[in-house]
Structure 1
Amino acid sequence: MIKKIQQFIPKDAQVEFHDNNATFEVSILEIKKVARDLYANKNLSLKLITATDEREENGYFKIWYVFGVPKENLFIIPFILLKNKTEFPSISLVIYEALNYERKIKTFFGLTPIGCQDKRPIILHENWPTDVFPLRKDFDWQKRPQIATSGIYNFQKVKGEGIYEIPVGPIHAGIIEPGHFRFSVAGERIVLLEPRLGYTHKGSEKLFEVLPLDEKIKLSEKISGDSSFSHSLAFCQALEKLSDTTLPTRALYLRVIYAELERLANHFGDIGAIMMDTGFNFGGAQGSRLREMVMQINERITGSRFLRGVNTIGGVTKDIDNLEKNKLLLELKTISKDFSKVIGVALNSTSLLNRLKGTGVLSAEIAKNHGVIGVVGKAVGIINDARVDYPYAAYDKLLPDEIVTEQDGDVYARFLVRIKEAHASMKIIEDALDKLPKEDINIPNLNVVFKKNTFAMSVVEGWRGEIAYFVTTDENGSISRVVPRDPSFINWAVLRDAGFDNVIPDFPLINKSFNLSYSGNDL
């Protein structure tokens, strides 16, 4: 591993290794240069930027910059220390996708990124006092701060003859999560779209600091409810690294099966919902029907439609016996045939294709500059999939034949990516069931002891895209910080670009083709 990472590390850096992570301190003056080199010259992907409050133990704040090395399953993590300082240099001018991470550090830690172009708070709203920073260790999570009585969120403004604004949300006509969208339009054409989120903020990162371990795992399942299994998987993998826990092989295969069932159910739902939003009711009904079939399979096998309570440190809690295995294989064949028939009808509908093609186009350049991932990124040709780039569970033996991509970046491309991924998921599940080894599904009577003063990084390819968890421990070996990063936190930033120059009535369709999580963004 040392040889592999040498090309990414400055010559004079003192490197520490934590599992598959290489970390080293960088001076505040050098961080912009080092980050730009890793990102632009070494072509590493930015996974997340976060902070930890270590003033009580060490007398400083630490800011971590996590970069991934695709295909090597390695993470390069430079960090800076803020001793008696609350300012640090912004890197968002050289890595644009760093912008919202820096805004979040400012909002939740009170550490100011100097040179950041967007100084507005993120997630927390105007009723939150500007001098209270909830992710600092001295913030009492049980104490309600005094509500601020004033404050204005400065939406971006467009000036020009005939330009007017349309505010939509946060309460919507459908049964969906709350979010506000501010449209600046000329006639019906969208000139500017700006989402405002944060209405589902639950204080999850603070809760991770104080909850018992079992409750932490349950909390990870609720970061984004439709991705319960993938979030808890990413969290459990980080905990397993921190405790040097090796899993039974059967548990690794079962994790793949459950992860793909979650992907399958959500892709079926989205495919149907996209068709429903065009008025193609047949497709909408069939998508809902297929999704429900998978959800019922989930409940029958695990007792939970959303696959909650399945992941645990050291494996899974629910097995698939031979009878259930054979039944599931037969059901998958039926579902696959049904799905192919539905898609055959859909792709022969001229009215449906007219609505999907050319609508909500996101350019590859904008997507790459924002680090877009998952379905949205694959729809513009970005080859990015944690199952391949950072293999986990049993994906090193059950890899998809190829990473599904399209090129046009419109609603139709995102529609096709989901269709192809659904077919691939069914194939992966069948392959995993055929190869399922005969072993335990977890480690009985496991005594979990975490290493002290260390950290772990875990990534999982959720159905929306890559989910990342960064977890640290303190001097007592207790979990001191958990940083979940849902793909929605990244992809919300480009919804405005996909909406540009479209008509207002097409926005619900564009938004559905992204189908991002409000809860996963707001935490």
Structure 2
Amino acid sequence: MAYARKTRAGGLEVLYCLSQGIGHPYLILRVPPDQNRIPSLANRFPFMGWYEREMHDLFGLEFEGHPEPYPLVLHEGTEPSHPLLQGPSEQPLRFSVTPPTVPAMIGPEIQRLPFGPVRADITESAQFLFFYIGEGILHYHPRLFYKHRGMEQRFEGASLMTGVILSERVSGTDSIAHALAYCQACEAALGWAPPSRAHLIRVILAELERLTNHLHFFAELAKMTTLKVADAQGHWLEERAKQINGILTGNRFLRGILCVGGLRHDLDLSGLHDALEPLERDTRSYLGRLEETRSFLDRLIGTGRLTRAVAFDQGATGPIERASGLDRDLRRDLCYAGYATLHFEVPQQSTGDAWARACIRRDEIRQSLSMIRQCLEKIKPGPVWTDQMHAGPGPLAEGLGWAEGTRGALYYAVHYDPAQDAFDRVKIKDPSFSNWRVSPFTVQDSNLMDYAINEASFGLSIAGADR
């Protein structure tokens, strides 16, 4: 992850968060303020491309030698052009009609299809530009950030508690993952340690969210492969999972429970095991029937292949990277919450196609249910909010928090003033920001008939990527 921040002296500082491997803390590298022209890393590390383009759009930083020097977050004609230099504002951005900058594709019989940003039913807004001959796709260019809401700027000046509410609303289907990464970043900055009961309940909530989202994934995949009954059954299983969430926490999206230092209040877990048992049985039966449906398998096997090398170079994360043979999972590699006390496996596939991505999620459903059962067996009565609190070092506390969300690795970096109870800067890295960058590599040289299935197999969030 890389991001920029405006220092209190008025300069711009660029920070790079680097992984040092399993079990080792992240290394934070800083570029001193006022270095307005910085060498681009995107040619050597392709996944850095979007981070640098984002910093250019929002802060006006120039990255010399960037291979894709055109707008990403703010589309052409946006005013002001660098909003995070302006400070918090309630005024919406102004736009003028300016043609988008897209790669040229010229040749005989090549057709161009701009699809979106308004698409089918309630699908989130994005535009996809296809260049194709017949059914064969020659080039595919996604145009995101129509749903950019300036979420990072909304954190500026916000309190710790307001930050929880904001984080839960960055991406509605990942409320717990975002809130958990945010809370852990703040706890790292302030030196707060939640009690063990809070840690285990956080795991339960995170795995309930994963279960709900994976059931939604299979329902959507059935829809895209025109299996109407499986579509309805999958959404019914998702609805039952949401009802369990609502009974347990009072909110179907699991909002309003997490806070910095632990939980806002304790939960009654006594009926959770019995509530999950019939859902687990019916889910197992549902997934088994899908695996026996030949038309379902025919549309997924071989569709949208992502090689291990491309997944690594372009920064794939979550089920997408694990379906392509990359063995990474923050729950195991950089344990947080109560995951260190649990026994679980990280599912792996190697073919990198739509079926492999579905298999990863199928196996993760089983692991999630197993982890919830383990937490229910291990959890003991006790407090759910820390009483050991102290301010972070110096006038500005900094912390990095992470979570393995449904879609992959999710990070929050916070710069917080304890004396004012206000944030100077919060950086959010949603897994879909990475996976949307990866997805075009599975579309080129494929065909239009398979596009909807391929996109569904990625399970991407536009709200999370756009923020």
Give the TM-score band, short-chain normalised: over 0.9
Shift of 1:453: 2.7
Contact 1:200–1:518, Cα closer than 8 Å, also in 2: yes
Which residue does the alignment assign to 1:88?
A: 38
Provide the rounded CA distance (Å) in 2 between the counterparts of 1:395 and 1:212: 28
Shift of 1:175: 1.1
Provide the rounded CA distance (Å) in 1 between the counterparts of 2:194 and 2:160: 19
Q: Answer yes or no: is 1:232 the counterpart of 2:179.
A: yes
Which residue does the alignment assign to 1:389?
A: 333
SS at match of 1:396: helix
Q: Answer yes or no: is 1:463 the counterpart of 2:463.
A: no
**Cα deviation 1:381-439 (Å, max 9, x = unaligned):** 11111101110000000142x21111111111111111000010000000100111221
One of 191, 194, 218 as aligned partner of 2:165: 218
Provide the rounded CA distance (Å) in 1 between the counterparts of 2:198 and 2:310: 39
Shift of 1:283: 2.1
Alignment CA distance shift 1:427-1:148 (3 Å) = closer
Shift of 1:218: 0.5
Alignment CA distance shift 1:298-1:148 (3 Å) = closer
Provide the rounded CA distance (Å) in 2 between the counterparts of 1:437 and 1:397: 13
Provide the rounded CA distance (Å) in 1 between the counterparts of 2:397 and 2:138: 47
Q: Answer yes or no: is 1:287 the counterpart of 2:231.
A: no
Shift of 1:52: 1.0
**Cα deviation 1:337-374 (Å, max 9, x = unaligned):** 21121122111111111011111111111111111100
Q: Answer yes or no: is 1:63 the counterpart of 2:14.
A: yes
Which residue does the alignment assign to 1:275?
A: 222
Shift of 1:493: 0.8
Q: 1:169-248 residue pairs with structure 2 within 5 A?
A: 169-248=116-195
Contact 2:13–2:33, Cα closer than 8 Å, also in 1: yes
**Cα deviation 1:17-44 (Å, max 9, x = unaligned):** xxxxxxxxxxxxxxxxxxxxxxxxxxxx
SS at match of 1:96: coil
Q: 1:436-455 residue pairs with structure 2 within 5 A?
A: 436-443=379-386, 449-451=391-393, 452-455=395-398
Contact 2:215–2:234, Cα closer than 8 Å, also in 1: yes
Question: Which residue identity does 2:285 align to in structure 1?
Answer: K
Contact 2:161–2:260, Cα closer than 8 Å, also in 1: no
Q: Answer yes or no: is 1:50 the counterpart of 2:3.
A: yes
Which residue does the alignment assign to 1:486?
A: 430
SS at match of 1:368: helix
Which residue does the alignment assign to 2:47?
A: 97
Provide the rounded CA distance (Å) in 2 between the counterparts of 1:195 and 1:406: 26
Question: Which residue identity does 2:379 align to in structure 1?
Answer: L
One of 109, 119, 140 as aligned partner of 2:59: 109
Shift of 1:294: 1.1
| TM-score after normalising by structure 2 | 0.96
Provide the rounded CA distance (Å) in 1 between the counterparts of 2:141 and 2:91: 33
The RMSD of aligned alpha carbons is: 1.8
One of 127, 136, 141 as aligned partner of 2:89: 141
Which residue does the alignment assign to 2:275?
A: 331
Which residue does the alignment assign to 1:118?
A: 68
SS at match of 2:32: strand
Shift of 1:516: 1.0
Provide the rounded CA distance (Å) in 1 between the counterparts of 2:37 and 2:172: 35
Alignment CA distance shift 1:205-1:345 (3 Å) = same
Which residue does the alignment assign to 2:264?
A: 317
**Cα deviation 1:443-494 (Å, max 9, x = unaligned):** 36x8774443341111100011111011113595642110010000011012
Contact 1:133–1:139, Cα closer than 8 Å, also in 2: no
One of 350, 355, 363 as aligned partner of 1:420: 363
Contact 1:73–1:391, Cα closer than 8 Å, also in 2: no
Q: Which range moves more in the overlay, 379-388 or 465-474? A: 465-474
Which residue does the alignment assign to 1:352?
A: 296
Question: Which residue identity does 1:336 align to in structure 2?
Answer: E
Provide the rounded CA distance (Å) in 1 between the counterparts of 2:324 and 2:312: 9
Question: Which residue identity does 1:383 align to in structure 2?
Answer: D
Q: Answer yes or no: is 1:374 the counterpart of 2:318.
A: yes
- Percent of aligned positions that are identical: 32
SS at match of 1:489: helix
Question: Which residue identity does 2:339 align to in structure 1?
Answer: Y
Alignment CA distance shift 1:437-1:69 (3 Å) = farther
Provide the rounded CA distance (Å) in 2 between the counterparts of 1:231 and 1:415: 23
Alignment CA distance shift 1:82-1:320 (3 Å) = closer
Q: Which runs of 5+ in 2 are unaligned?
A: none
Shift of 1:68: 1.6
Provide the rounded CA distance (Å) in 2 between the counterparts of 1:387 and 1:242: 20
**Cα deviation 1:251-295 (Å, max 9, x = unaligned):** 000000000000000001101211221012232222112111110
Question: Which residue identity does 1:201 align to in structure 2?
Answer: H
Question: Which residue identity does 1:141 align to in structure 2?
Answer: S
Which residue does the alignment assign to 1:19?
A: none
How many residue pairs are counted as aligned between the two chains?
465
Question: Which residue identity does 1:112 align to in structure 2?
Answer: E
Which structure is higher in RCO with an 8 Å CA cutoff and minimum separation 6? 2
Q: Answer yes or no: is 1:72 the counterpart of 2:23.
A: yes
Q: Which range moves more in the overlay, 252-261 or 85-94? A: 85-94
Contact 2:126–2:144, Cα closer than 8 Å, also in 1: yes
Contact 1:268–1:290, Cα closer than 8 Å, also in 2: yes
SS at match of 1:439: coil
| TM-score after normalising by structure 1 | 0.86
Provide the rounded CA distance (Å) in 1 between the counterparts of 2:149 and 2:13: 24
Q: 1:258-269 residue pairs with structure 2 within 5 A?
A: 258-269=205-216
Contact 1:264–1:294, Cα closer than 8 Å, also in 2: yes
Alignment CA distance shift 1:424-1:140 (3 Å) = closer
Question: Which residue identity does 1:72 align to in structure 2?
Answer: G
Alignment CA distance shift 1:481-1:285 (3 Å) = same
Q: Following superposition, which runs of at least 4 residues in structure 1 exceed 6 angstroms of deviation?
A: none
Q: Which range moves more in the overlay, 211-220 or 347-356? A: 211-220
**Cα deviation 1:110-135 (Å, max 9, x = unaligned):** 01001111111111122313x63111
SS at match of 2:336: coil
Alignment CA distance shift 1:150-1:288 (3 Å) = closer
Contact 2:140–2:443, Cα closer than 8 Å, also in 1: yes
Contact 2:131–2:138, Cα closer than 8 Å, also in 1: yes
Question: Which residue identity does 1:132 align to in structure 2?
Answer: S
